Amino acid sequence: MNYISIKVNGVLFERAISSDMRLIDFLREEIKLKGTKEGCSEGECGACTVILDGKCVNSCLIYAAALDGSEVLTIEGLKKEEIHPIQRAFIEAGAVQCGYCIPGMIMSAKALLDYNIDATEEEIRKGISGNLCRCTGYEKIVSGVMLAQKYIKEGNFNG
């Protein structure tokens, strides 16, 4: 057993967990945040991407017991009074088909735009290069991220 204190979407969780529990298991099974999806379990698809201490990571490749004192942001943590500009942009750009890759894709986009709001198209493609999508062919996802840049710069959102 390991005892951890971890902040998820701004809420502090103090739990005793089994040592081999991965972060994705902690999120989905322990605190019932089902938005983060499991794809490959090997860090190859990016469906499980969350933001850990400000950086995008594969939650399937991290033991929760190693994260005492850390902060995690999941897809559920993006929305405040209204949906996040990235979520709005993805919808408007038609970037969502089956939707399974989208939570991870959005978290990678958020991490990228938090780091560099002026990312070029090439940098956007590189920033989401760890997220696989079998549906869209990526073009509308890239358009969605570029639209999100515009919305974030306009600044008229809460949260």
Binders of another protein among residues 105 to 124 (CB under 8 A) are: 108, 111-112
Residue whose CB is less far from another protein, 63 or 100: 63
Is 41 a binding residue for another protein by CB under 8 A? The answer is: yes
Residue whose CB is less far from another protein, 91 or 135: 135
Rounded to whole angstroms, what are the CA distances from 128 to 35, 47, 50, 52, 97?
A: 18, 11, 13, 16, 17
Residue whose CB is less far from another protein, 81 or 118: 118
String of contacts with another protein for each residue 15-34, x by CB under 8 A: ---xxx-x------------
**Smallest gap from residue 65 Cβ to another protein (A):** 4
Is 35 a binding residue for another protein by CB under 8 A? The answer is: no
Which one of residues 34, 79, 80, 126 is an interface residue with another protein (CB under 8 A)? 126
Is 134 a binding residue for another protein by CB under 8 A? The answer is: no
**CA neighbor of 130 nearest in space, from 71, 33, 55, 22:** 55
Work out the number of other CB atoms within 10 angstroms of the CB of residue 129.
11
- Site size toward another protein (CB under 8 A) is 31
Contact (Cβ atoms closer than 8 angstroms) between residue 40 and residue 47: yes
DSSP assignments along 47-99, one per residue: TTEEEETTEEEEGGGSBGGG-TT-EEE-GGGT-SSS--HHHHHHHHHT--SS-
Enclosing H/E stretch for 13:
strand 11-17
Angle between helices 85-93 and 139-154 (to 10 degrees): 140
Is 141 a binding residue for another protein by CB under 8 A? The answer is: no
Is 57 a binding residue for another protein by CB under 8 A? The answer is: yes
Binding region for another protein (CB under 8 A) out of 48-56, 75-83, 133-141, 144-152: 48-56
